[in-house]
Chains A and B, each alone.
Chain A
Amino acid sequence: MPSDERRTEARRVLGICNACGYCNGLCDLFEAAKHRPRLADGDLAHLANLCHGCRSCLYACQYAPPHGFAVNVPRALAEMRHQSYADYAWPRAFAGLLERGVLTAVMVGLGAVGLLLALVLWSLPHDILFAQHTGPGAFYRIMPWGWMLVLGLLPLAWSMLAFGMGLHRYWRAARTEAVTLTLRALLSALRDVLLLRNLSGGGPGCNDLDEQPSHKRRWIHQGMVLGLLLSFAATGVATYYHHALGWEAPYPLTSAPVVLGTLGGLLMSAAIAGLLWLKRHGDREPTAAVALKADYALLVLLLSVALTGLALLLWRETAAMGLLLAIHLGSVLAFFLLMPYSKLVHAGYRFIALLVEASERTRQRDE
């Protein structure tokens, strides 16, 4: 959808919301929109990122289709949110990657895994690649530590830079005069992230699937985040073992990296399966096709990282370890590369939106 159409539609529906106001108990969006009655382009980006896509306001809306006003806030803001991801992407030439989320994920995913496979197939004689390797340093006989470092850190550094540039530009646009950073606002925003308060529909939950409110998506999402954090923790501990203690992977089954990684991988896989199930069975009306595709792309990417990691653990003492390691490292590489060009950016933009909102709220209360 062209960006003008997205803005026009978001402005139209939020204008009706501002004249109505019945939904202001469901989440922060509606009061925020009331305080920005001009609904300028920057306001729309902020409001779209404040919206958690919980869908409750569509089911609550007296003007939702088949009513002639055809108000569908979650869909209009999903489109608008997507527009803002593209608008703030860095470098701008890469914005198209976000518009074609599935294609980008598939190409980068296959490319990265293909690259790693090609690398090990080309650099290693088959009797080494397909041999059983056990004991300390087994992984590095397939891929030397230095290579792993280069293949991990360089893309990660680039992605962090691109992610950070996008967030910086968004922050400059979203930060109104009323926004002053205080510890109170920061804590309030962090609390909103931790509890996903805006995914609770004002108490009873959101319309994850249909007319019934539930807390499913809220809990499952946080389960996935916890799984991701555990996996990062596993990597962190392993790095510490390697550098500080000089212990080389693979680590025993009862070691911290393996336990953390296994728990993280299992939790992530289960949660992603849950989220995919919700997407598959949920009403399509309150979402936009472009947003749904971006969700699928990121979820499948994360699932592939988790599943290949678990597979590597399961078969690390067999002849398949070499290829599994290459596939796992390839999917991690794809994940790193796609961080700033996938749905993952929502984490940053949403945090900023919550921070801006918390700051304006605390200021209003002080006045």
Chain B
Amino acid sequence: MPDPNPLGATPDVLVIGGGTAALCAAIAARRAGVSVRLLEQAPRGLRGGNTRHSRNLRFMHVKTTPLSTGPYPETEFWADLERATAGTIDAILTPLLIQGSEDITDWLEGAGVHFQSHASGVLPPSRKTAFLLGGGKSMLNALYTTAERLGVVLNYATEVQDLSIRDGRLEQVTISSGGHVHTLSPRAVIACCGGAQASRDWLRTHWGDAAEGFINRGTPYAEGKVLRSMLAQGAVSVGDPEHAYLVAVDARSPDDDGGIATRVRCMPAGIVVDVRGRRAYDEGGDTASTRYALWGQRLARFPGQIGHLILDARGVRAAPPSLYPPLSAASVTALAEVMGIDPVALAATVADYNAAVRASDDPGDTAAWHSVGLDPPKSGHALPLTEPPFAAYPMRPGITFTYHGVGIDAQTRVRLTKGGAMENLFAAGMIMAPNIIPRGYVSGLALTIGIVFGRLAGQEAARHAQR
């Protein structure tokens, strides 16, 4: 099928990327009256970057709304970010984010997006975030439709190979599409194409051999070519390339794009051993949702980046539904053989653990069961692993995003190491998220950053193009 939008005409504003930030930027710029072309690297069926795997967004609201269970004022949003980033907060961009988040649910609804009300009775309680009806892909469908209706020209399966930057100005964009290479020189460009976490080579340069053991939870198209091109040509680097947001995922997941369903969640119900059959961390210490990311970081330090969550039949019964059924065997030693671990070592670890388990004063209060004299301890939920059959979830660190991006100013223009900012190159979304959140995470923040800064970048780029 011929490309419905051949890369002939040069737009006023070129948007690189196809996720939330890109769509909000394209819609905002087009509404401001300029011509806009959006280049999405993925084919149509896999469009939308990691927004496809997202569900909720964080927004400031002083009053209770149907979309959340209570108010979330500016001061609290600020405090949450300060805590998550351990005090490394950006004094200029963070207020823009928080204040900009106040009207985003209205703005999205105006662009055809629907939210799931808490009246549906089936949402996890959330005071700080609003849930998209049908999840991120439904939002993408609505935003793509709106962008197209407004006259944004869309190109799928179109990859930006390189940017040419000279004297603080973006001169030319090199694009590959359908085996052909094109160049465009638009008046303004907005880079909304995320990080580099899908690139194994890039991961290996920062993580060494450990990168081989990582699973990329998200889109396979986040290869970071644009990010690296900007950094190589004098853009300010923010965040830390050696840090990534990792969560524990099933080791049997596909290399890319497994999304939310690949998470392993029930560590408190069992013990986690490495490939030698040894425990290394307190599995009962964290039961909040923050444990997913904690275990991601821990698994990255495991030998071979693989760990195994061991459960007995009781633990399996209590486990939440999982993408893959756990490996199962009648005895601990048989299970070790299925997993490729030394059976003697695993049997010893389980026996030591079981011997160290102490019931709480109220035996029904399973959260208070704990180990005594065990190193490392299991400080809560320490029920003995005795009921056959035994089961195991093999786990690996699943990379969600990296804390590495380009610095931007309050107009979302890409900052330069020599001082000042690019006059016609803007950035929004995960490619600049480390400005706000150079470490840590709070749920729903990635979408909020994409929407607030995407919209702002669209308006600023349009203003520049009209100058």
Contacts and interface: CB of A to CB of B under 8 A. Distances in A.
Contacts, number: 84
A306 B270 CA distance: 64
A20 B261 contact: yes
B434 interface: no
Given A26-B133, A202-B134, A203-B133, A59 B141 contact: yes
A26 B134 contact: yes
B260 A22 contact: yes
25 contacts: A22-B134, A23-B134, A23-B135, A25-B131, A26-B133, A31-B122, A56-B134, A59-B134, A59-B138, A60-B138, A61-B137, A62-B52, A62-B53, A66-B45, A67-B45, A67-B46, A67-B257, A68-B254, A68-B257, A201-B133, A202-B116, A202-B134, A203-B114, A204-B133, A211-B145
B135 A202 contact: no
B313 interface: no
Given A20-B260, A24-B122, A62-B137, 8 more contacts: A16-B261, A19-B260, A23-B135, A57-B134, A60-B135, A60-B141, A66-B43, A211-B145
Contact of B145 (A22, A63, A212): A212
Contact of A202 (B53, B133, B136, B322): B133
Given A26-B133, A60-B138, A212-B145, A18 B260 contact: no
B46 A66 contact: yes
Interface string B326-370: 000000000000000000000000000000000000000000000
B120 A25 contact: yes
A114 interface: no
A34 interface: yes
Interface in B29-88: 43, 45-46, 52-53, 55
A65 interface: yes
Contacts of A42: none
Interface string B253-272: 01001011100000000000
A15 interface: yes
B45 A22 contact: no
Nearest to B256: A68
Q: Which of A16, A63, A66 is the most central at the interface, judged by chain B CB atoms within 10 Å of its CB?
A: A63
Interface string B311-326: 0000000001111000
Nearest to A15: B321
Nearest to B259: A62
Contacts of B138: 59-60
B313 to A, nearest CB: 15
A25 B323 contact: no
Nearest to B44: A66
Nearest to B136: A62
Interface of A: 15-16, 18-20, 22-26, 30-31, 34, 37, 56-57, 59-68, 201-204, 211-213
Contacts of A68: 254, 257
Contact of B141 (A16, A37, A203, A211): A211
Interface of B: 43, 45-46, 52-53, 55, 114, 116, 120, 122-123, 131, 133-138, 141, 144-145, 254, 257, 259-261, 320-323
Q: Which 3 A-B pairs have the closest CB atoms?
A: A22-B135, A60-B134, A25-B116
A67 B136 CA distance: 15
Contacts of A204: 114, 133
Nearest to B48: A62
Given A59-B141, A202-B120, A18 B259 contact: no
A64 B136 CA distance: 13
Contacts of A201: 133-134
A19 B52 contact: no
Q: Which of B116, B137, B254, B321 is the most central at the interface, judged by chain A CB atoms within 10 Å of its CB?
A: B321
Q: Which of A34, A56, A211 is the most central at the interface, judged by chain B CB atoms within 10 Å of its CB?
A: A211
B122 A25 contact: yes
Contacts of B43: 66
A277 B123 CA distance: 36
Contact of A63 (B123, B133, B144, B261): B261
Nearest to A71: B261
A66 B256 CA distance: 13
A16 B116 contact: no
Contacts of B321: 15, 18-19, 34, 37
Contacts of B144: 211
Nearest to B144: A211
Nearest to A20: B261
A64 B141 CA distance: 13
Nearest to A361: B121
A67 B138 CA distance: 16
A67 B259 CA distance: 11
B123 A25 contact: yes
Q: Which of B53, B116, B123, B254 is the most central at the interface, judged by chain A CB atoms within 10 Å of its CB?
A: B116
A34 B43 CA distance: 32
Given A22-B55, A202-B120, A62 B135 contact: yes
Q: Which of A16, A25, A57, A67 is the most central at the interface, judged by chain B CB atoms within 10 Å of its CB?
A: A25
A61 B140 CA distance: 11
B42 to A, nearest CB: 10
Contacts of B136: 22, 62
Contacts of A34: 321
Given A202-B114, A202-B134, A20 B259 contact: yes
Contacts of B259: 20, 62-63
A19 B141 contact: no
Contacts of A24: 120, 122-123
Given A16-B261, A25-B131, A59 B46 contact: no
Nearest to B262: A19
Contacts of B137: 59-62
A59 B45 CA distance: 10
Nearest to B43: A66
A15 B145 CA distance: 31
